[in-house]
Amino acid sequence: MRPDRRVAPWLFLAPGLVVFSVAVLLPMVLTVGFSFTEWNGFGAMTFVGLDNYVRAFHDTFLRASFLHVIVYIAATLVLEVLVGLCLAGLVSMRRGRLWFRVAIFTPVMLPMVVVAVLWAFVYNPDFGLLNGALEAMGLAGLQRIWLGDPSVALLAISVVSGWVYAGFYMMIFYAAFRQVPSDIIEAARLDGAGEWSIFRRVKVPMIRGAVGVAVLLCVTGGFQGFDLFFVMTNGGPYGSTEIPTTLLVRTVFRHADVGYGSAMAVVLTAVVVTCGLAYAQLQVRRTRGAAR
Amino acid sequence: MRTHHRGRAVIAALSVAALAVASSVSGAVAQDRTLRIAMGSPGEAGIRVWEAIGAQFEAANPGVTVDIEFMDDDLYQTIGLPQLLASPNAPDIYFEWTGSRMAQRAADGYAADLTEAVASGPLAGLLDDELFAAATLDGKIVLFPHTADVTNVLWYNVPLFAEHGLTPPTTFEELLAVCDAFVAADIIPIATGNKDLWAAGNWLSHMASRVVGEDVYDATLAAGGPFNTPEWEQAFGYIAQLREHSCVNESANAIADNEGAQLFFQGSAAMHPIGSWLVSWAIDEAPDLEFDFVNLPAMPEGSAGDQGSAIGVETGYMVNANSQVQDLAVEFLALMNSPENVKAYVAAEIVPLARSVADAGVDGRSLRLGELLAGAPAVVLPPDTGYDLEMANALYAAEAAVLGGQATPAAALAALDQQLAR
């Protein structure tokens, strides 16, 4: 007996839908629900309406955390995407350099917690590699308490993020560069363009789509950043590396303020989704503009 | 016997809830005689002792399974224990700190009355009576004390002090002079790793309690402020003086507590303010280090607190009022405190409060720490275990800001009050 043609697709979809509903949809709905309550996660739940959102709106710590994450994203756009793009340009010029690609990509494969611990040692002001190297090079004046100085801690974490993800974006761009027709590059070369001009005026414009995806990934990924911050500075020093995710975890899991934490989670999600949609809309307009 | 070890990851906390729900199905079906025990991690050596006691208990009670949950300390202290207590397979015995946490458990209905077991039951005569003062609520003993942690003293490197002709400071003025001497000798006077804020936070809070007075300290922390008062500003002013004299490593707020301890273990720093757990830690990590301790130096004249006060907390085990095996739980607590098992704890560098500990060969420093706490004219509670955790974190952050030169005492206190008011 054959199942009804209208039912059959749903039968195939059902297992996935069930898993999606239980693992993704339900927690999201519950989080929204919790955001209207005052609840410590265990005892009685009190409905407080929009109080948590009003509190979030006036919360200077939350505002500061968003500012920090925006600075972090701006830094990672340079240290991850731009550096990745430049590395991909270099690699695509020298196609045989497999070891180079592997070396640059390797940090992506490391667990972020391992990376964070590793770099915490590098940055350690008392016996860390960085300050030691600066001293050995006669640059002791540049030594810093890297993760203890609010003026450099956020940048220090951004550098680690760049160290990890530049290789990831390099691979994206490298794959995109491989799709650029070689006859166009040859034509440019015949016209007398050097490698830098080919990179800047031919290759990069032709992988605009990949660059767009990379920027979107970097921005949304920046909002989701957590591991490096949690392990390396735990939001410090003096709150200078507190980002929404670390603040959220502290609020929910340390201060047991599930209601307010849920409201923060909803706000954070709304910001990320808005950024993503706005950027996608911008890309669509550009594509349409280019098509005309 | 089953034991569990939990990682630090927050996800683990969620797993507790998920596993608890999942296992409730099987738990409801099989009416086993399982004694469940929950605690933070006592360290590898401590875990081995607990496992051995669990095996002894199972051997003595056929048909009983001892199930011990060792959870990451931070997780246990925050959401781990409440999650477990709310689950269908809640622990029958659980570790807790005396003070507001113990009172909260009792208020939530998770504290069995142990008064009778202590008076005439299996727990009678195991501990000195005065130890139950902090474990008693409304005339009922709700916690069986096991250890007492001095949360902070000033550890010092004995040879370094001798080498520089210095004596351990007993007053704040002497402390500053010692700092100056060590700075001149290019040695870090005091090392602390305060990235997570509690390490120096407990030390500086004790200092503040000596200045503002124990009553004001307790009242302010219990009420969550206000801190921006002349007394607290005076107390924070002494923290600023520590900075002015370069008493503390520049990296203090950038490194973790274990990194701060390493500076002390390696002889790079002359002093290290931390709790009684340093003894076993230092013996493991720096067996050749000669170290000793002094209580927090007395604060200058005009300070309102008792200058002999100690900061510390008694910890122990509570029996869940909802437990179906309370009789087994009490027997297990008694077994834990048998002379043989007390010796095993001591060998694992855990110093129980049981009377038999005197015969167990405890490290002299650990014994003196116990005497310090027992003989202190006043004992103040650490902010993070004695009071609301969010308030404690805010206080620690304000102290760190002054210690790191990031804020003046007045500004830090104003910001603290503002944060607590949000």
Phi–psi pair at A276, nearest 5 degrees: -60, -45
* A100 — pLDDT class (breaks 50, 70, 90): confident
* Confidence band for B32, pLDDT divided at 50, 70 and 90: low
The reply to whether B20 touches chain A by the CB within 8 Å rule is: no
Between residues A95 and A281, the one the model is more confident about? A281
What are the residue ranges of CATH 3.40.190.10 in chain B? 2-149+314-373, 150-311+374-421
Q: Report yes or no: A161 and A228 within 8 Å, Cβ to Cβ.
A: yes
Q: What is the pLDDT of residues B372-409, one digit of tens each?
A: 888 889 999 999 888 888 899 999 999 999 999 999 99
Q: Evaluate if residue B362 carries a pLDDT over 60.
A: yes
Check if the beta carbon of residue A187 is closer than 8 Å to that of residue A103. no
pLDDT at A1: 61
pLDDT tens for A252-270 read 988 888 999 999 999 999 9
Distances, alpha carbon B202 to alpha carbons B51, B108, B392, in Å = 32, 27, 9
Nearest by CB to B79, from A146, A238, A253: name it: A253
Per-residue pLDDT tens over the stretch A162-204: 999 999 999 999 999 989 998 998 999 899 888 889 999 999 9
Do A254 and B251 lie within an 8 Å CB cutoff? no
Residue B141 sits at φ, ψ, to 5 deg, of -80, 120
Give yes or no for a cis peptide into A237 (omega within 30° of 0).
yes
Check residue A141 and report its DSSP letter: G
List the single best residue of A55, A147, A238 to mutate versus B (max B Cβ within 10 A): A238
Quick check: B17 pLDDT over 70? no
Q: Provide the shortest C-alpha distance from residue B163 to chain A (in Å).
A: 23
Minimal CA–CA distance to B184: which of B166, B168, B172?
A: B166
> What is the C-alpha radius of gyration for chain A, rounded to an integer number of angstroms?
24
Taking the CA of residue A126 and the nearest CA in chain B, the distance in Å comes to 7
Contact yes or no for B109/B340 (Cβ under 8 A): no
Instruction: Decide if pLDDT at B166 tops 70.
Output: yes
Alpha helices in B271-388 (DSSP H): 278-285, 326-336, 339-347, 364-375, 383-386
Whether the predicted pLDDT of A78 surpasses 70: yes
Question: What are A287's two structure tokens?
Answer: 């594509």
The rounded percent of chain B whose pLDDT value lies above 90 is: 68
Average pLDDT, chain B: 89
Nearest to B255 among A58, A124, A239 (CB): A124
pLDDT at res. A96? 57
B67: its two tokens: 């199930």
| Three-class secondary structure of residue B247 per DSSP | coil
Nearest C-alpha neighbor of B126 from the set B289, B386, B356, B404:
B356
Task: Closest CB to B254: pick one of A55, A145, A239.
Answer: A145
- Contacting A residues, span 205-264, partner chain B, CB-CB under 8 Å: 233-234, 236-239, 249-250, 253-257
Confidence of residue B9 (pLDDT cuts 50, 70, 90): very low
Closest CA to B403 of B267, B226, B258, B202: B202
Is residue A290 predicted with pLDDT exceeding 70?
no
**CATH annotation of B150-311+374-421:** 3.40.190.10
Closest partner CB to A41 (pick from B79, B249, B407): B79
> Which of B78, B82, B401 lies at the smallest CB-CB distance from A238?
B401
Contact A148 B255 (CB under 8 A): yes
Using CA atoms, how far apart are residues A171 and A106, in angstroms rounded to an integer? 11
Among candidates B196, B252, B390 on the partner chain, residue whose Cβ is nearest the Cβ of A234: B196
Asked if A43 is an interface residue toward chain B (Cβ–Cβ < 8 A), one would say yes
Cross-chain residue pair A145–B13, CB shorter than 8 Å: no
pLDDT tens per residue, range B263-287: 999 999 999 999 988 887 888 888 8
Contacting residues for B147 by C-beta, under 8 A, at least 6 apart: B314, B315, B316, B350, B351, B352, B353
3-state secondary structure (DSSP) of residue A174: helix
Distance separating alpha carbons of residues B166 and B163, to the nearest angstrom: 8
Give the B window 54-93 contacts with A, CB below 8 Å.
78-79, 82-83, 85-86
Amino acid A18: pLDDT: 95
Angstrom distance (rounded) from CA B39 to CA B95: 5
Residue spans per domain, chain A: 60-291
- Compare all CA atoms of chain A with the CA of B407 and give the residue at the minimum distance: A238
Mean residue pLDDT across chain A: 90
Give the pTM: 0.80
DSSP state of B298: B
pLDDT for B225 equals 85
d(CA A157, CA A241): 9
pLDDT band at B156 (very low <50, low <70, confident <90, very high): very high
Tell whether A45 is within 8 A of chain B (Cβ).
no
Tell me: pLDDT of B24 over 70: no
**Cα–Cα dist A217/A204, whole Å:** 18
Query: Peptide bond preceding B226: is omega within 30 degrees of 0, i.e. cis?
Result: yes
**Per-residue model confidence as pLDDT tens digits over B188-210:** 999 999 998 999 999 999 999 99
- E-strand ranges in chain A read 37-38, 46-47
pLDDT 10s digits, B225-262: 899 999 999 999 999 999 999 999 999 999 999 899 99
Length of chain A, in residues: 292
Strand partners, B317: B95, B144
In chain B, the residue whose alpha carbon lies closest to the alpha carbon of A251 is B390
pLDDT digits (tens, 9 = 90+) for B95-141: 999 888 899 899 989 999 999 999 999 999 999 888 898 899 999 99
For B42-82, the pLDDT digits (tens) are 878 889 999 999 999 999 999 999 999 999 887 888 888 98
Question: Out of B108, B263, B401, whose CB is closest to A126?
Answer: B263
| Angle between helical axes of B326-336 and B43-60 (0-180°, round to 10) | 120
Amino acid A3: pLDDT? 66
Query: In sequence order, which residues have a C-beta less than 8 Å from that of residue A247 and are 6 or more positions away?
Result: A61, A62, A65, A235, A264
Residue B320, helix vs strand vs coil: coil
Element (H, E) at B40: strand B33-40
Which CATH number describes the domain made up of B2-149+314-373? 3.40.190.10
Q: How close B259 comes to chain A (CA, Å)?
A: 9
Rounded to whole angstroms, the Cα distance separating B250 from B243 reads 9
Q: How far is CA A139 from CA A124, A133, B263, in A?
A: 17, 8, 24
Please give the CATH topology (third level) of the domain spanning A60-291.
MetI-like fold (1.10.3720)
Q: Which of B294, B349, B374, B323 is nearest to B49 (CA)?
A: B349
Query: In whole angstroms, how far apart are CA B195 and each of A45, A242, B20, B320?
Result: 34, 13, 33, 35
* Cα–Cα distance for residue pair B40/B38, rounded to 1 Å: 7
Residue given tokens 């002013």 in the structure block: B237
Interface contact A125, partner B, CB < 8 A: yes
DSSP string for B182-246: HHHTT-EEE----TTSHHHHHHHHHHHHHHH-HHHHHHHHHHT----SHHHHHHHHHHHHHHHTT
Cβ-defined contact of A125 to B254 (cutoff 8 Å): yes
Instruction: From chain A, pick out residues whose CB is under 8 angstroms from the CB of B251.
Output: 124-126, 145, 148
What are the strands, taking DSSP E only, across A22-70?
Answer: 37-38, 46-47
Q: Return the pLDDT at B347.
A: 85
**Shortest alpha-carbon distance between residue B253 and chain A (Å):** 6
B186: Cα separation from own chain's centroid:
32
B411 touches chain A (CB under 8 A): no
Pull the structure tokens for residue A244. 């929404």
Question: What's the confidence (pLDDT) of residue B386?
Answer: 86
Size of the A and B interface in Cβ pairs below 8 Å: 87
Q: What are the structure tokens assigned to B331, written together? A: 């027997």
With left for phi above 0 and alpha for psi between -120 and 50, is residue B197 left, alpha or beta?
A: left
- Reported as a single tens digit per residue, the pLDDT across A16-65 is 999 999 999 999 999 999 999 999 887 788 999 999 999 999 998 999 99
Closest CA to B353 of B172, B126, B103: B126
CB atoms within 10 A of CB B218: 16
Distances (CA, A) of A228 to A64, A66, A160, B278: 18, 16, 8, 28
Q: Is B281 exposed, middle or buried (0-12, 13-18, 19+ CB in 10 A)?
A: middle
